[in-house]
Amino acid sequence: MTKMNSVCAALLVAVLSVGAQGKVLESSVATVNGKPVLASEYDAYLQSVVETYQVNAPQFLERPYAKDILGKEVLKDLISKELVYQAAEEAKITVKDSELDEGLSEIKSRFAVDEKTGQPDPKGAEKRFNEALKKQGMTLKTYKAKLSREIASRKLMEQELQKSIKPVEEADAKALYDDVQAVLKNNTKKLKAMEQENPQHLQEVQAIAAKLKQLSAEQVRIGHIYLATTKDMSEADKKAKEELAKKIKKEIDNGMDFSTAVKNYTEDQQALASGGDMILVKGIAPKEIDAKAFTLAVGKVSDPIKTDLGYHIIKVKEKRAERTIGFDEIKNDLGQYLAQTRVLEAQAKYLSGLAEKADIKITKEFEVDKAIAAEQAKLQAEAAKKAEKKEEVKK
């Protein structure tokens, strides 16, 4: 399978798999009101999360106990799902056949890519979906039963959130905008008041202000050709990269289209889809690139620029001066942010309420917890020794 279909298959197992009852008691990672959270669900869900991080944030996986950190979040999510499953059953939430068919169609659409060619193949989605079911030892009947439960849980959550979430009004967005402006203008009096009233809100406002400052700063759109060098690269190889950068610049000067040069030479594979185009915000890029990008005239191509990362050739395509972003320009974005925040807060409160009333037992052990416990025991032992020495000195 392709990576996308593999992830879909893993998610299919993580969210919707059903194991044999005889296997359940032997392979659970937790129980919720006596009902097991299967190890097979946990393993498949965690694997899909790890694969996502391998693609989007591989550096995170290099951290100590990274997999355990992700695993604890996965287990927390599975427990929350089970809590809602049970609440939906208790509330007798029903699922219409049309809702089930719609959900099944959406799941099948995730298998619309041919794993052999990597090309879209909607007609083959049904076959690949059935193959995924068979691989996991599931029948369509058991799958649909689990999917029905999933939809019922979503319907219950929507009902509960509608009861508690207050609609966002324009005045709410304006109040948030004013708080953001207080950060941008360093209004110390208002900032201190916000910190005393709600430190978490202040942190959120500061994050929005940082983003807004970035969006309103002087910007330049460039084309970018990148040749990488590393610290362990030989001097001869570094020199070869420098000579190649000079050769590329000469070819561009002699008439080669910049986008063709990007396609032929750049080592930034992610930038190929955009033809090497990127937006630079003043003060964010390496200083050597920053200096050139914001001084070159539009349409001009730089000589090779050396940084700690390698050699760069840029073409300035467009410039935008620093500007002020008014409330009307971002009020919809601020409103959406507030709405999403309220949904997350209401969801967390509802799940917390379910968890407080539930009997939850976690049987999965994590190495990170053992390491934390060992470190705490070490600190306690050291503190005890210091206390003993103080007592001896007193005597």
Six-digit token pair at 46? 């965690």
| Phi then psi dihedrals of residue 280, to 5 deg | -105, 135
User: Tell me: the pLDDT tens digits for 339-372?
Assistant: 999 999 999 999 999 999 999 999 999 999 999 9
Six-digit token pair at 22? 């005889």
pLDDT of residue 26: 53
Please state whether beta strands 360-362 and 305-307 pair in parallel, antiparallel, or not at all (unpaired): unpaired
Consecutive H or E run containing 278: strand 277-281
Residue 13 has pLDDT above 90, yes or no: no
- Which position has the token pair 């600190």? 379
Q: What is the rounded distance in angstroms from the CA atom of residue 9 to the CA atom of residue 212? A: 39
User: Tell me: the pLDDT tens digits for 158-211?
Assistant: 999 999 999 999 999 999 999 999 999 999 999 999 999 999 999 999 999 999
Quote the mean pLDDT of the chain: 88
Alpha-carbon dihedral sign for residues 269, 274, 275, 276: negative
| CATH fold match for the domains 3-164 and 218-320 | no
Give the fold, CATH level 3, of 3-164: Triger factor/SurA peptide-binding fold (1.10.4030)
Least confident of 21-30, 59-68, 254-263: 21-30
Class of domain 218-320: alpha beta
Residue 274 or residue 95, greater confidence: 95
How do the domains of the chain map onto residue ranges?
A: 3-164, 218-320
Q: Which of 11, 5, 10, 76 is nearest to 37 (CA)?
A: 76
